[in-house]
A and B are shown apart, each in its own frame.
Chain A
Amino acid sequence: MCNCPVCDASVTISDDPVEGELLECEECGTELEILALDPITLGEAPEMEEDWGE
């Protein structure tokens, strides 16, 4: 179990995590990437921005 770096919600990690694995935070929807395994470190995954007309 780790915490989302964006909203601090608990994020469940699989039993056999892999560096570079992508996860989604259930609460804030941020796509997360496993940056390191020992200890497990999560970061925001780079993502394609949707065009919101901005």
Chain B
Amino acid sequence: MINVAIAGGSGYAGGELLRILLAHPDVEVVQVTSERLAGKFVHRAHPNLRGLTRLRFVPLGELSHCDVLFSCLPHGESARRIDDFRAVADRIVDLGADFRLTDPSVYERFYGRTHPRPDLLGRFVYGIAELNRDELRTASLVACAGCNATATILALRPLYQAGVAQSAVVEVKVGSSEAGNRASDASHHPERSGAMRSYKPTGHRHMAEIEAVLPGPVHFSATSVEMVRGILATCHVFVDRHAGIDDKALWKIYRRAYALEPFVRIVKDRAGIHRYPDPNILAGSNYCDIGFEADRNANRVVVLGAIDNLMKGAAGQAVQAFNIMHGLPERRGLEFPGLHPA
């Protein structure tokens, strides 16, 4: 068994991680930390896990040795504590933003502060398996990608790889769980319920990751919508008008990129009501569904990418990376297909 601990396990990503790992046949969860809930059973924060474990939260200071430490701490905290983490864990998978980027000046531009440990930037493998599977096999430090970045990158990368994308405009619609489990004015029910609120038309932090992976230019906006989980990235991609991109060509490009991927599905159906990706049916699953349509009159391709932000955009991505790091089947612990109707 692989002994794992979760630092900062009282939030939504930590709860999803715990849900997956408790059922993972190769894993024993030995510790879960929370300063606020230290001493309380984990089902106090994650009621869906009642009866599945007797684990109680412990404070960070009581972390003891484990094989793998997953960090779900707020941004900035992993970097501040990274030496302590490396002292207790052979491998670290960070779900926060601290080590996703490699350039400290880019970090400063997007996060508005100097990175506390620039010496470690570039030492972490960016955790999207579809990009870095080979590097993950031998990684001891992994930084999971941001949820919006994951949906956008997986949707767009095949077109850039194929050399047909010239630029892209991305609009993501996001659920409320992206904001975490701490209340704010924006999450107050009368303010959040029914919201369709543009919260970051430009300059979203995940742009830093998108720009690091895709040659761009990519323009990105985010809108909060009435949903708890889920991201739908609608990507308007402008293509070379001489490239002759039609739907059949897009099928070829996306099949080439993802035919063998266990968690990426092409959803472009001519029949039924579920013709394009819909994050609603992905809740709790690790899938990224991708659809597309060519608009040849406008030299434009519309690509749609949908994920559960807490799964493929956080905990599921982390476990997929964990499986690869340990030579386990990638789907292990991640077989849940989602719910319908949800």
| A residues lining the B interface (CB < 8 Å) | 6-9, 24-25, 27-31, 50
Q: Does B271 contact A31, Cβ atoms closer than 8 Å?
A: yes
Q: Does B271 contact A6, Cβ atoms closer than 8 Å?
A: no
Q: Does A28 contact B268, Cβ atoms closer than 8 Å?
A: yes
- Is B188 part of the contact surface with A, judged by Cβ < 8 Å? no
A51 to chain B, nearest CB (A): 11
Main secondary structure of the interface of A (DSSP, over half): loop
A30 to chain B, nearest CB (A): 4
In order of increasing CB-CB distance, the 5 nearest A-B pairs are A29-B269, A29-B271, A7-B251, A29-B270, A30-B270
Q: Does A7 contact B271, Cβ atoms closer than 8 Å?
A: no
Contacting residues, chain B, for A27 (C-beta < 8 A): 251, 266
Contacting residues, chain B, for A8 (C-beta < 8 A): 248, 251-252
Q: Does B269 contact A7, Cβ atoms closer than 8 Å?
A: no
Q: Does A9 contact B251, Cβ atoms closer than 8 Å?
A: yes
A-B contact list, 16 entries, CB within 8 Å: A6-B247, A6-B248, A6-B270, A7-B247, A7-B248, A8-B248, A25-B270, A28-B251, A28-B268, A29-B269, A29-B271, A29-B272, A30-B271, A31-B270, A31-B271, A50-B273
Contacting residues, chain A, for B252 (C-beta < 8 A): 8
Binary interface encoding of chain B residues 250-270 relative to chain A, with 1 for a CB under 8 A from any of its CBs, else 0: 011000000000000010111
Binary interface encoding of chain B residues 281-295 relative to chain A, with 1 for a CB under 8 A from any of its CBs, else 0: 000000000000000
In the assembly, what is the distance between CA of A27 and CA of B269, in Å? Answer: 7
A9 to chain B, nearest CB (A): 7
- Among residues of B, the one whose C-beta sits closest to the C-beta of A5 is B248
B153 to chain A, nearest CB (A): 23
Given contacts A6-B270, A30-B271, 5 further A-B contacts (CB under 8 A): A6-B248, A24-B271, A28-B251, A31-B270, A31-B271
In the assembly, what is the distance between CA of A34 and CA of B272, in Å? Answer: 22
A53 to chain B, nearest CB (A): 12
In the assembly, what is the distance between CA of A27 and CA of B251, in Å? Answer: 10
Contacting residues, chain A, for B266 (C-beta < 8 A): 27
Residue of B248, B269, B270, B271 with most partner-chain A CB within 10 A: B270
In the assembly, what is the distance between CA of A30 and CA of B106, in Å? Answer: 46
In the assembly, what is the distance between CA of A8 and CA of B268, in Å? Answer: 13
Contacting residues, chain B, for A24 (C-beta < 8 A): 271
In the assembly, what is the distance between CA of A37 and CA of B252, in Å? Answer: 26
Contacting residues, chain A, for B271 (C-beta < 8 A): 24, 29-31
B200 to chain A, nearest CB (A): 30
- Among residues of A, the one whose C-beta sits closest to the C-beta of B250 is A7
In the assembly, what is the distance between CA of A8 and CA of B270, in Å? Answer: 14
Contacting residues, chain B, for A7 (C-beta < 8 A): 247-248, 251, 268
Contacting residues, chain A, for B247 (C-beta < 8 A): 6-7
B254 to chain A, nearest CB (A): 10
A31 to chain B, nearest CB (A): 7
In the assembly, what is the distance between CA of A50 and CA of B336, in Å? Answer: 31
A35 to chain B, nearest CB (A): 18
Contacting residues, chain A, for B268 (C-beta < 8 A): 7, 28
In the assembly, what is the distance between CA of A24 and CA of B270, in Å? Answer: 10
A7 to chain B, nearest CB (A): 4
In the assembly, what is the distance between CA of A28 and CA of B266, in Å? Answer: 9
